[in-house]
Amino acid sequence: MAAPASRDKPARGTPAHATTPLDAPGGRAPDAFRPTTRRRQLLLAALAVATVLAIAALMLRPHQQLMGAKAARADAARLLACPPGAASAMPGCPGGRMDVLVLPATPAPPR
């Protein structure tokens, strides 16, 4: 029967980084830190911006549809109230007469 491998000597065929001391909690080898490259950072930043824009567009879509429906209803009501080409347009419609309030001029202050 073969002797068990000691902690100081790696087993045959194991990579060199496997010989790191077991400092992590639970007796596992610590995770190797590999800094991200500039290209990967830019990719992650672009992905984050695209995600924010997509979520914002999806959240605003119902509001835009509501506002479009309200504008269509307002246009239809305006056409009913003020038909185009009417000979005598109602007050408030384009081409109609409007009442004007004329206020008396204020007197000049005494000297």
pLDDT at 101: 82
40 CB-side CA count, 13 A: 4
d(CA 95, CA 4): 102
Cβ atoms of 29 and 22 closer than 8 Å:
yes
Both structure tokens of 51: 């995600």
Tens digit of each residue's pLDDT, the chain (111 residues):
555 555 555 556 555 555 555 555 666 666 677 788 999 999 999 999 999 999 999 999 999 899 999 999 988 887 777 777 665 667 777 667 777 888 888 888 887
* Confidence (pLDDT) at 2: 56
- Tell how many helices (H) and how many strands (E) occur in the chain: 1, 0
Alpha helices in 23-86 (DSSP H): 38-81
The pLDDT assigned to 15 comes to 57
Residue 56: what are its φ and ψ, rounded to 5°? -65, -40
